[in-house]
Amino acid sequence: MQDDFRFFKLGFASRLILAGGLFAAGIALELALRASMFFPGLAVLAAGWLPLMLRKATNKPEDQGLEEWRPVPLSEVDKLDDALRESKKLRSKTRSLSSGVALGLGIPVLVVFLGLCAAFDRTDAYFVGVNAAALLVPALFFGRVRVFTPADIAMKMPCFRALLAEMPAEGVTVAPYLRFDKDRSGADVPEDLRLLYELKRPPADLVGIQVQAAVNNGPNGAVPYMYAVILTKGKDGPSYKVAQRIKSAGYEIEVGGDEQYGTVVLRQATDDGGYETSPDDCRKLLRLCLKALAALAAA
């Protein structure tokens, strides 16, 4: 339990006793010496929050910087998508509860109350208001919950959902891959996603078409950018030669690779706002990939 608190290694009962003692000592100083000791007494009272100050709670994993790509069933992608949606909802709720109550309501009401006390020379009410604020307001800022949402994969997910909602052509299969890290306990932490479209009866030198997404910096912030890579075994087979000849208006075709794998990248041209791919753009890319697979199947 003591690990939940920021300061002092004390048991819970000891924390309550220390905090209560400081609260009482601060108010006693204020009452005993009135104006001359009001602010020093208030400082002693406020110090009573130190043993009660909680750490911020978060679900952000302490990842280890690992990168392991593994094939997963479609149900794992659905689970990840559901978890991202729930994290966004929970993040919105916790933000509105903490900042909305503390800043949107509590502090303005306190300022108005103290202003009225000063205007009507009500020192007794002013005394009660200031001490009530010192006893209650800090609690709104301690132990805040921070809900972590992995921004990159959450941004890319609508692109992948658009593709997975489309039925692959006959003779084509789709295999999702997730990139995993590990947290300190050894549990998997999903960080990225890609899809591999394969022919059920591929040519000997064809691996498939891998569809993945990057994050571009657009004029209004980060945006997803989906592209595809035709993968072949080496660069000397017929599949690589056919892949090089694929053309489509509005797309850049980039030929590359090495002795082990040949690559032909199919990506949307970045002119006129093409640096971002909407779900419709992703579906258009999928149609190009399926057309390419049909050409490769005939190679």
Q: What is the pLDDT of residues 193-207, one digit of tens each?
A: 999 999 999 999 999
Percent of the chain scoring above 70 in pLDDT: 74
The position carrying tokens 């020379």 is 121
CA–CA separation, 13 and 183 (whole Å)? 33
E strand residue ranges, the chain:
57-58, 68-71, 145-146, 172-182, 188-199, 206-218, 221-233, 251-257, 261-268
CA–CA separation, 202 and 286 (whole Å)? 18
Mean pLDDT of the chain: 80
CB distance 197 to 180 below 8 Å: no
Is the pLDDT reported for residue 93 higher than 90?
no
- Assign 200 to helix, strand or coil: coil
Q: Which CATH number fits domain 151-297: 2.60.40, 3.30.1460, 3.30.2320, 3.40.630?
A: 3.30.1460
Tokens of 131: 């001490």
CA–CA separation, 32 and 212 (whole Å)? 70
Which of the four pLDDT bands, split at 50, 70 and 90, describes residue 140?
A: low
| Number of C-beta neighbours around residue 19 at 10 A | 17
| Number of C-beta neighbours around residue 213 at 10 A | 23
Q: What is the predicted pLDDT for the residue at 266?
A: 95
* Domain locations in the chain as residue ranges: 2-53+88-146, 151-297
To the question of pTM greater than 0.75 for the whole model, the response is no
Which of the four pLDDT bands, split at 50, 70 and 90, describes residue 81?
A: confident
Q: What is the predicted pLDDT for the residue at 12?
A: 74
CA–CA separation, 143 and 52 (whole Å)? 10
Which of the four pLDDT bands, split at 50, 70 and 90, describes residue 1?
A: very low
Query: pLDDT of 8-65, one tens digit each?
Result: 777 777 777 877 787 778 777 777 776 655 677 777 777 777 777 776 655 555 666 6
Query: pLDDT of 148-183, one tens digit each?
Result: 666 788 889 999 999 999 988 889 999 999 988 877
* Residue closest to 279 by CA, chosen among 151, 158, 195, 192: 158
